[in-house]
Amino acid sequence: MGLPLLKDHALFRSRDLDEARERVAAVFCPHRLETLGARSLFDACHHHLPGQRLSLNYIEYGAKTLIAPGELGGFYLLQIPLEGGAEISNGMGSYASTPERAAILNPHLPTRMTWEEGTRQVLVQVSRKAMQDHLAGVLGGASDRPLTFEGPLDLTAGPGAALRRLVMWLVAEADAGSPPIGTGLMARQIEGTVLSGLLEARHDHAAQIARQKAAPRPRHLRLAEGYIEAHLDQPITLEEVAQAAGISPRGLQLAFREFRGTTPLGFWREARLARAHADLMAAGPGTRVTDVALRWGFTHFGRFSEMYRARYGLCPRDALRAGG
């Protein structure tokens, strides 16, 4: 088996079933925990790194284990198997979770799981309120029903693969001594990226999000976005964008929050990051990461690298090699 992750954030290691149940429940919720199979050796550990809206966790039980919490209540739970796998029942649906297929557990549906012997998982616990608030920001208003994820998340391609890379980067940063979540604006932005990544999975609000993205934009928002797109390689201010759009700075902020779920300068930063990503992936021989970063106005290379990895799940240098 591989080495435990989040090693500097260990909560416990125990071969006592009752202790493990109580310690895990203190972070998640009360649950039924039983070993299955006479030859299984129970040896549990839980490592936990809390953030503002989510936490990173590493759990292994050693033995084949039944876990039955019922409804999780206050949180969604993304489970990414590193080794082994689990049979998942969440509501009426059942499926197998493996290193190629993550589980996303809904808090309002009853859950029952069987982890195979030797299973090791990274788990992302997301506040239910934070997830619903993030969804409301994307939709431009609160939904009248809970967000419900559907089935396993494919980790081998597309949004699932990107989300896995992002989560494992967060874990790697924590293990390198630089926990990327916790306090501060950057940590909050990184957590927001994880929540956005979850919204790329299959769920019952996907069509509503698609309609919102396709909805006509107000004229001042179109003008603002056009101005930003035309000045991506230049420093701009909120006041300049508002003047070009013919609206007050406060009104512009509210429009971006309602229709884009971000701020005008956040939109500008993400657009520059997307242009840098496209250039790195299409770069020819001899291209340097610093050249691309400077082209799109990123003068602090360490911060650029952090933002890039948080957004795309790999460092700019690796993207440059992959593109070449």
Contact predicate 67/31, CB 8 Å: yes
Q: State how far Cα 147 lies from the chain centre.
A: 16
Domain match, 170 and 36 both: yes
Number of domains in the chain: 2
Output the domain CATH number for residue 174: 2.60.120.10
Domain match, 196 and 247 both: no
Domain match, 144 and 280 both: no
Report if residue 1 sits inside a domain. Answer: no
Closest CA to 267 of 224, 213, 216: 224
Which residue type sits at 258? E
Domain match, 20 and 137 both: yes
Report if residue 317 sits inside a domain. Answer: yes
Domain match, 242 and 175 both: no
Report if residue 94 sits inside a domain. Answer: yes
Contact predicate 212/139, CB 8 Å: yes
Domain match, 189 and 76 both: yes
> Which residues are CB-neighbours of 31 under 8 A, at least 6 positions away?
21, 24, 25, 67, 68, 69, 70
Query: Last residue of some domain: 181, 207, 233?
Result: 207
Q: What is the pLDDT along the chain (324 residues), one digit of tens a residue?
A: 567 899 999 999 999 999 999 999 999 999 999 999 876 689 999 999 999 999 999 999 999 999 999 999 999 999 999 999 999 999 988 999 999 999 999 999 999 999 999 999 999 999 999 999 888 888 877 788 899 999 899 999 999 999 999 999 999 999 999 999 988 778 888 898 899 999 999 999 998 888 777 666 788 998 998 899 888 888 889 999 999 999 999 999 998 888 887 889 888 888 888 888 888 888 778 889 999 999 888 888 888 888 888 777 778 888 787 655
What is the residue range of 284's domain?
Answer: 216-323
Rounded-to-integer distance, Cα 310 and Cα 313, Å = 6
Query: Last residue of some domain: 157, 180, 207?
Result: 207
DSSP state of 107: T
